[in-house]
Structure 1
Amino acid sequence: MATTRWLDEREMAAWTAFLEASHRVFRVVEQQLKEDAGLSHPQYEILVKLAAAGDAGLRMTELAESLITSKSGLTYQIGQLEKRGLVARGACPTDVRGVMATLTEEGTRKLREAAPGHVTCVRETLIDGLDRAQLAVLAEALGDISARLREKNA
């Protein structure tokens, strides 16, 4: 049986700072999107991913993977967005079992409306509080962690 490697003081400080900062940033971003655009953060991210995909849209499985969410969670969010006319679902042309999600004109309009406030919030909450060197370290460190976890779960 392996011995547990407890976190030392510096490691614990890093972990708790990460948790607090990520929760606080997420809370502020979520609140801003709800108040200004009537969207949850996951819904906003869905609109962003679908806009980037263009007219072809994305398969629901690909969209779930890119958003790091469950298929059922994505299905719920897409259903909510579909009720509002922001996204549409349809058959996948290359796989009869596949379902495609696409952004509607109303979804594009909503995203264009929501994006400036969202970017301003992200800047005020995170980006502008760091200098260029800190941003580089943060991006590299979190990128390395993401890559390692992607490989581990592949």
Structure 2
Amino acid sequence: MDTTPTDVPVQWLTPEEQAAWRGFLELSRGMERAVDRQLQRDSELSSSEYEVLVPLSEGPSEGMASRELLTLLGWERSRLSHMLSRMERREMITRSPNPSDARGLMVGITGRGREAIENAAPGHLHLVRETFIDVLDEEEQATLVGIAHKVLPRLVALGLR
């Protein structure tokens, strides 16, 4: 499906639609900045490093296939490669040949990486709870989950994620 049709007139957003879109962008960007600041201040991790360490810390002890991590994070391959190189230099992760995929790699968390995520998690969760979860009631939280379940598959279907 073409996301930029040239032969279809532009359907401008109504004031209400524009308020919803801009509110979403402001909220999303504001939360990202707050998380980045908190993680840097309290743990010297970037939010991207934290995002990589979470599934590795929760996953199997043998690590995770880099392809699986790529899909899970929804990142571009080059972004993940650069981040893994950086994290490997900081001794937070290891990369090794994937025994079941000759072209792939396994990514594992090191003791230093596990220590970093365990030290960062309490402050991160405090921020998420204080600024987001605790200000929304259960219905609002469920609405957000419903929105994500509608929008994310659409991005995939359009080849945008």
TM-score by length of 1: 0.94
Give yes or no for contact 1:33–1:41 (8 Å, CA) kept in 2.
Answer: yes
Tell me the CA shift for residue 43 of structure 1: 0.6
In 2, distance between residues paired with 1:69 and 1:55?
23
SS at match of 1:55: coil
- Structure 1 residue 143 displacement after superposition: 2.2
Q: 1:114-129 to 2 correspondence within 5 Å?
A: 114-129=120-135
| Alignment counterpart, residue 21 of structure 2, candidates 15, 35, 39 | 15
Residues 53-92 of structure 1: pairs in structure 2 closer than 5 A: 53-92=59-98
Give the aligned partner of residue 135 of structure 1: 141
- 1:39: which partner in 2? 45
Q: Is the 8 A contact 1:37 1:114 kept in 2?
A: yes
Structure 2 stretches of 5 or more lacking a match? 1-6
Match of 1:5 among 8, 11, 18: 11
Asked if the contact 1:60–1:71 (Cα under 8 Å) also holds between the matched residues in 2, the reply is no
Retained in 2: the 8 A contact 1:30–1:40? yes
Match of 2:3?
none
Q: CA deviation at 1:19?
A: 0.5
Count, aligned residues = 154
By how many angstroms is 1:11 displaced? 0.5
Report which of the two has the higher share of helix: 1
Q: Which amino acid aligns with 1:112?
A: E
Aligned to 1:111: 117
Q: What are structure 1's unaligned runs of at least 5 residues?
A: none
Deviation at 1:116, TM superposition (A): 0.5
SS at match of 1:5: coil
**1:3 is paired with a residue of what secondary structure?**
coil
Identity among equivalent positions (%) equals 36
